[in-house]
A and B are shown apart, each in its own frame.
Chain A
Amino acid sequence: MADLYTVENLHLSLPDMTKKPLVGAAPRIEILKGISFTLPKGEILGVVGGSGSGKSTLGRAMVRLLEPTGGRVLFDGQDITHLEEPDLCPLRRRFQMIFQDPMSSLNPRHRVGQIIAAPLALHGFSDVGARVLDALDHVGLPRGFAGRYPHELSGGQRQRVGIARAIALRPEFILADEIVSGLDVSSQAQVLNLLEGLVKELGLTLAFISHDLSVIRRLCSRVLVLYRGEVVENAATAEVFAAPKAAYTRELLDAIPLPDPDQVWA
């Protein structure tokens, strides 16, 4: 199977504004310290790590919301590491993103229909209206929701709109950044099941960022464990859970509170 993403020795640093001296540039903090991995087509890759592990930064570098400071990101064989926005634009249809907080990622003053239609119009699709309805069908929302505003929806419904917007473009890759962490367990189960179905149906490749290993285990075929900007573990999901190699992975696994009063939690 061909690799959709190849990430080689990726470095990314951002200026630390809290330590900016009175004159001159702020010191830079290294968030990603040489990350390498490949993501084959059709795979669901789980990206786990604590806060400050760089998992969101890595995701944002993959969809080029951030420009890496070193290393390379290849998308379907094409180097997108430092591509300028006009050259990036045609590629953008092919990799999409679903955000953590649907309240922040859906423009509160646009209706759901507009929100899903905007990227379609931008990429020159002719049958925008039909595709919007099709996307709503896919995520299991009534077509009438096209006329509603985001604040009129529940958390789970909003996250479905985020998914609908991403799949409407029929991308090859979707980055899902902590998309269920703000949801109730029931909505979480709905969204996870939905996403799993869509991946199969639309032949998507998915990177699923999460801090929750239980969710990762449920959905992903491979797991990438990050710790302070470095990959500490990269293996098939079953392997990671059966025999974690890195000490940090073991620590993460041991810390999960299972819904079971008999679990030994030393």
Chain B
Amino acid sequence: MVDKSGADGRSLIRRRAGLKLWLSGGWLATLALAAILAPWIAPQDPLAQDLFLGRLPPVWIQGAEPGFYLGTDSLGRDVLSRILYGARLALIVALVAGTVTCVIGASLGLLAGFLRGWVDVVISRAIDIWMAFPPVLFSILLIAVMGPGLQSIILAIVVIDWTRFARVVRAEAMAQGAMDYVASAQVAGRGRISTMLTEILPNVLPTIIALLTLEMGIAVIVEAILSFVNLSISTDDPTWGGMIAEGRTSIHQAWWVLIFPLITLFLTVLSFSQLGEGLKDRFDPVLR
């Protein structure tokens, strides 16, 4: 039997090992673990103030105190402990806001792109109108009305960003809807909604997952921005954005208060976007 299946040599191209996936996944897993275990592994109480211990440098610099590994801020609060506790909030926002945005946006996009007709008209107009609102003003307004708090942040992200999913997924569903395997499902007698779920959804899922991880990164940023402008949750709870805002004021005396939360934020957002890419490379049967 002559095997022609690999005749075009495509199967010979070795796909790059999932380094991206391991690095980004590793960082996020560590962060998640740190967030969950924060009460046990944080070296200090993140809220404990001690003016005598203000602006202590990280341990490897002269003048550091043992136990304050990444130094302290101007009020003497431990930077490492605050980053760990801040991760809890960042990850909750990323997971909840990202997922809710994704589910709402992708569902609407899928319905509009596959069913077309009046469903598409209604959803597409809603997207157009929605996108005409300036997002930052919109979120600030929303939080001003609802009051600061976790729910407000999550709601603000969902309300602003669902259109991102809806637009992309709609276009993708439209393209897939024109494929003959959809016609084939119809010839077999499959109903519209069932076709959407069994034929279209698996093909737009890689896009949805890529968008979802990207959205989680965006959610972390949005939360940091809102904290930075003091619109996040109560100022006592440590947030990365809040830490960056405070660190900004003392950048010349204590750079570590700004830099460490900033690095954490950067790595986290980067990891989320790379995670999506890595998952796609690894698990998409069409690419594999």
A–B touch (CB < 8 A): the answer is: yes
Measured CB to CB, the residues of A under 8 A from B are 60, 63, 65, 85, 88-90, 92-93, 95-97, 99-101, 104-110, 118-119, 122-123, 148-149, 151-154, 156-157, 165, 169
B286 surroundings in chain A (CB, below 8 A): 108-109, 149, 151
The 8 Å CB contact of B202, one of A88, A110, A153, A169, is A110
CA distance A120 to B286 in the complex (A): 24
Given contacts A89-B189, A118-B188, A122-B189, are A65 and B202 in contact (CB under 8 A)?
no
A residues less than 8 Å from B199 (CB atoms): 107
Query: Which residue of chain A has the shortest Cβ distance to B200 in the bound complex?
Result: A107
Contact with B189, one of A60, A88, A107, A157 (Cβ below 8 angstroms): A88
State the Cβ distance, B121 to closest chain A Cβ, in Å. Answer: 14
- Closest CB in chain B relative to A190 CB, distance in Å: 11
* B14 contacts across to A, CB distance below 8 A: none
Assess the A105–B184 pair: CB atoms within 8 A. Answer: yes
Instruction: Write the chain A residue with the least CB distance to B179.
Output: A104
Whose C-beta in chain A lies nearest to the C-beta of B201?
A109
List 20 additional contacts besides A118-B185, A122-B189, A123-B189; criterion CB under 8 Å.
Answer: A65-B183, A65-B187, A89-B189, A93-B189, A96-B187, A97-B184, A99-B184, A107-B181, A108-B203, A108-B286, A109-B205, A110-B202, A118-B198, A119-B189, A119-B190, A123-B188, A148-B5, A149-B285, A165-B184, A165-B188
Chain B contact residues: over half helix, strand or loop, or mixed? helix
Tell me the complex Cα distance, A96–B189, Å: 10
A86 to chain B, nearest CB (A): 8
CB within 8 Å of A: which B60-102 residues: none
A residues less than 8 Å from B198 (CB atoms): 118
Q: Which residue of B lies closest to A86 (CB)?
A: B191
Residues of B within 8 A of A (CB): 4-5, 7, 11, 179-181, 183-191, 198-199, 202-203, 205, 285-286
Shortest beta-carbon distance, A106 to chain B, in Å?
6
In the complex with contacts A152-B5, A154-B4, A99-B189 CB distance below 8 A: no
Q: How far is the CA of A151 from the CA of B287 in the complex (A)?
A: 9
Beta-carbon contact of B189 and A105 below 8 Å: no
Q: In the complex, what's the smallest C-beta–C-beta distance from A160 to chain B, in angstroms?
A: 12
Q: Give Cα distance in the complex from A118 to B190, angstroms.
A: 9
The 5 nearest A-B residue pairs measured at CB: A119-B188, A105-B180, A92-B189, A109-B202, A89-B189
Complex Cα–Cα for A37 and B180 (A): 26
27 A-B pairs in the complex with CB atoms less than 8 angstroms apart:
A60-B183, A92-B188, A92-B189, A97-B187, A99-B180, A99-B183, A104-B179, A104-B180, A104-B181, A105-B181, A105-B183, A105-B184, A106-B184, A107-B203, A108-B203, A108-B286, A109-B202, A109-B286, A118-B198, A119-B189, A119-B190, A123-B188, A148-B5, A151-B286, A152-B5, A152-B11, A165-B184
Is the pair B180, A101 in contact by a Cβ cutoff of 8 Å?
A: yes
Using A99-B180, A157-B5 as known contacts, say yes or no to A109 and B188 having CB atoms under 8 A apart: no
Which residues from chain B contact A122 at a C-beta distance below 8 Å?
Answer: 188-190
* Neighbouring B residues of A99 by C-beta, 8 Å: 180, 183-184
* Bound Cα distance A148, B6 (Å): 13
By CB atoms of chain B within 10 A, which of A60, A99, A169 has the most?
A99
Which residues does chain B contribute within 8 Å of A118, judged by CB atoms? 185, 188, 190, 198
B285 with A107: CB separation less than 8 A: no
Contacts of B187 in A (CB 8 A): 63, 65, 92, 95-97
